[in-house]
Amino acid sequence: MKKIGLLMMGLMLLAQADFSRTESGTVIDSQTKLEWQDDYSDNGGIKIAWWGEALTYCHDLNLDGTGWRLPNINELKSLIVETQFAPSIDSKFINTNTNTSVNYAYWSSTKTRKDNNKVWGVDFSSGVVYQVAYEFYNGRRQQNVRCVRDYK
């Protein structure tokens, strides 16, 4: 029953998403009024970082202006396209790491309620949302970063 509810929620999000790509390498969702980073030329490729570095990277990002942040889990989940696999994200996003062998997941800024050492992440190769230890995972864990800001 829970899976049906999650599927319905996902389908509602899919129906609501209205993505458009800009010349500056961002993707705008006109329904949620969010602007997403999809240009990583400042980094030479998709940014991979530890969680604390991801927070700083987004805060300092100057891509067609400032105001970027690491997305919370609900914002990040809004990008999942339930009817697609590898990648499970809209085709307007041309820079998405879906390499399932390493560094495939994307950080969110949302810590889990039960364990303050874990945050939520999204795997866009499968559309799975999961929790991961942000400080210690075989020493350290690096994941992909996609920054977001409010669209004016």
Question: Model's pTM, two decimal places?
Answer: 0.83
Four-CA torsion 64, 102, 55, 91, nearest 10 degrees: 30
What is the CA 31 to chain-centroid distance, rounded?
Answer: 17
Q: Which of 1, 21, 150, 146 is nearest to 80 (CA)?
A: 146
Dig out the tokens for 93 from the structure. Answer: 């996003």
List, in order of start, the domains of the chain with CATH numbers.
2-150 (3.10.100)
Neighbours of 28 (CB within 10 A): 17
User: pLDDT tens digits, residue range 86-127?
Assistant: 788 999 999 988 765 555 789 999 998 888 788 999 988 888
